[in-house]
Amino acid sequence: MKEMFYPSKIGVIDLAKVTRLYPAAVVDAHGEIAEMSLEWAEINGDKVKITSYVLVFDFTLPNEKVREKKELHFETKEELFEAMQEVAQFFQ
């Protein structure tokens, strides 16, 4: 079996244990900070300020109440997409 350890700026992430992997935009909507889908952030870009981008590695098993996840934060969408391409290499 292929090694699934992704060396990131926050440490090594075991991709084999990831249950969900998704990108998001961190937005400031009138002082409220939230993670939203990239699509939502682009559609509502005139109403919110995108402060950064995040790639979320969620390890939470189904029916678990406590969320276990790690997040990689990026200044630009391009940096996010580069990281997504790096991670995608592990799944090919």
pLDDT in tens, 2-17: 679 999 999 999 999 9
Q: Answer for the pair 6, 86: CB distance below 8 angstroms, yes or no.
A: yes
Number of domains in the chain: 1
Q: Return the closest-CA partner of residue 3 out of 59, 60, 68, 13.
A: 13
Q: Answer for the pair 35, 26: CB distance below 8 angstroms, yes or no.
A: yes
Helix (H) or strand (E) holding 80: helix 77-88
pTM of the full structure: 0.88
Domain hosting residue 40, numbered range: 5-91
pLDDT (tens, 9 = 90+) of the chain, 92 residues, equals: 567 999 999 999 999 999 999 999 999 988 899 999 999 999 998 889 999 999 999 999 988 888 899 999 999 999 999 999 999 998 88
Residue 8 structure tokens: 């990131």
Question: Residue 29: beta bridge partners?
Answer: 32
